[in-house]
Amino acid sequence: MSKRALGLAALGVGSALFLSACGGGGGTGGGDAAGTYDQATTEVVNASDEKGGTLRYAISANIESTDPGNTYYGYVWNFSRYYARTLLTYSPEPGKTTEPVPDMATEMPKVSDDGKSYTLTLRDGLTYEDGSPIVAEDIKYGIARSNYGDDALPNGPRYFKELLADSDDYEGVNADPSDPLAGFGGIETPDDKTIVFHLKEPFADFPYVLVQPQTAPVPAEADKGQQYQENVVSSGPYKFEGGWTPGNGLTLVRNEEWNADSDPIRTALPDQITVQEGVDQNEIDQRLINGELDVDLGGTGLGPAKKGEVLSGEDEKARLDNPENGSLRYVAVNTVVEPLDDEACRQAIMYAADHDSMQRAWGGAAGGEIPNDVIPPQIAGHDPDLDLYPSKDDKGDLDKAEEKLKECGEEDGFSTNLGVRADRPTEVAAAEAVQQSLGRVGIDVEIKQFPSDTFTNTQAGSPDFVHENELGLNIYGWIPDWPTGYGFLSYIAHGDNIKKAGNSNISELDDKEINEMLDEAVRTEDADEQARLYSDIDRRIMETGAILPIVFEKSVLYRPDNLTNVHFSQGYSMYDYMTLGTTGS
Interacting residues toward other proteins by CB under 8 A: 3, 25-26, 61-62, 149-151, 154-155, 172, 174-175, 177, 224-227, 229-230, 245-249, 276-280, 283, 286-287, 290, 292
**In which order are the strands placed within the sheet that holds 272-277?**
18-19, 295-296, 54-59, 272-277, 250-254, 238-240
Query: Beta partners for 483?
Result: none
Rounded distance, CA 433 to CA 216, Å? 45
Residues comprising the chain, all counted? 585
Between residues 291 and 545, which has the closer beta carbon with respect to other proteins?
291
Between residues 281 and 322, which has the closer beta carbon with respect to other proteins?
281
Question: Do residues 161 and 147 make contact, with C-beta atoms less than 8 angstroms apart?
Answer: yes
Where is 439: in which H helix or E strand?
Answer: helix 425-439
The count of other CB atoms within 10 Å of the CB of residue 580 is 22
Between residues 112 and 457, which has the closer beta carbon with respect to other proteins?
457
- Minimum distance from residue 150 beta carbon to other proteins (Å): 5
Rounded distance, CA 204 to CA 198, Å? 13
Between residues 298 and 483, which has the closer beta carbon with respect to other proteins?
298
DSSP 3-state of 240: strand
- Minimum distance from residue 218 beta carbon to other proteins (Å): 14
Between residues 279 and 547, which has the closer beta carbon with respect to other proteins?
279
- Minimum distance from residue 231 beta carbon to other proteins (Å): 12
- Minimum distance from residue 504 beta carbon to other proteins (Å): 14
Nearest to 134 by CA among 173, 156, 105: 105
* DSSP per-residue codes, 529-569: HHHHHHHHHHHHHHHHT-EEEEEEEE--EE--TTEESB-EE
- Minimum distance from residue 195 beta carbon to other proteins (Å): 25
The count of other CB atoms within 10 Å of the CB of residue 383 is 18
Nearest to 555 by CA among 286, 262, 321: 321
- Minimum distance from residue 515 beta carbon to other proteins (Å): 26
- Minimum distance from residue 263 beta carbon to other proteins (Å): 30
- Minimum distance from residue 286 beta carbon to other proteins (Å): 5
Question: Do residues 583 and 564 make contact, with C-beta atoms less than 8 angstroms apart?
Answer: yes
- Minimum distance from residue 285 beta carbon to other proteins (Å): 11
- Minimum distance from residue 177 beta carbon to other proteins (Å): 6
Between residues 95 and 154, which has the closer beta carbon with respect to other proteins?
154
Between residues 227 and 259, which has the closer beta carbon with respect to other proteins?
227
Q: Please report, for residues 26, 113, 294, 354, the alpha-carbon distance to residue 202 in angstroms, rounded to integers and kept in the order given.
A: 56, 10, 43, 42
Q: Please report, for residues 34, 58, 154, 368, the alpha-carbon distance to residue 322 in angstroms, rounded to integers and kept in the order given.
A: 15, 20, 33, 9
Question: Do residues 87 and 120 make contact, with C-beta atoms less than 8 angstroms apart?
Answer: yes
Between residues 230 and 342, which has the closer beta carbon with respect to other proteins?
230
- Minimum distance from residue 103 beta carbon to other proteins (Å): 26
Which residues 6+ apart lie within 8 Å of 442 measured at CB? 405, 412, 413, 414
Q: Are strands 473-478 and 415-421 parallel, antiparallel or unpaired?
A: parallel
Between residues 61 and 428, which has the closer beta carbon with respect to other proteins?
61
Query: Beta partners for 199?
Result: 164
Between residues 277 and 538, which has the closer beta carbon with respect to other proteins?
277
Between residues 247 and 409, which has the closer beta carbon with respect to other proteins?
247
- 536 by Cβ neighbours in 10 Å (0-12 / 13-18 / 19+) ranks as middle
- Minimum distance from residue 193 beta carbon to other proteins (Å): 30
Between residues 175 and 366, which has the closer beta carbon with respect to other proteins?
175
Q: Is the peptide bond before 339 cis (omega within 30 degrees of 0)?
A: yes
Query: Beta partners for 554?
Result: 324
- Minimum distance from residue 8 beta carbon to other proteins (Å): 14
Q: Please report, for residues 313, 335, 513, 551, 560, the alpha-carbon distance to residue 387 in angstroms, rounded to integers and kept in the order given.
A: 35, 21, 20, 15, 39
- Minimum distance from residue 493 beta carbon to other proteins (Å): 23
Q: Are strands 324-333 and 368-369 parallel, antiparallel or unpaired?
A: unpaired
Question: Do residues 128 and 234 make contact, with C-beta atoms less than 8 angstroms apart?
Answer: yes
Question: Do residues 16 and 320 make contact, with C-beta atoms less than 8 angstroms apart?
Answer: no
Query: Residue 258 is which amino acid?
Result: W
Between residues 77 and 258, which has the closer beta carbon with respect to other proteins?
77
Between residues 226 and 251, which has the closer beta carbon with respect to other proteins?
226
Alpha helix ranges (H) inside 312-373: 314-317, 343-352, 355-361
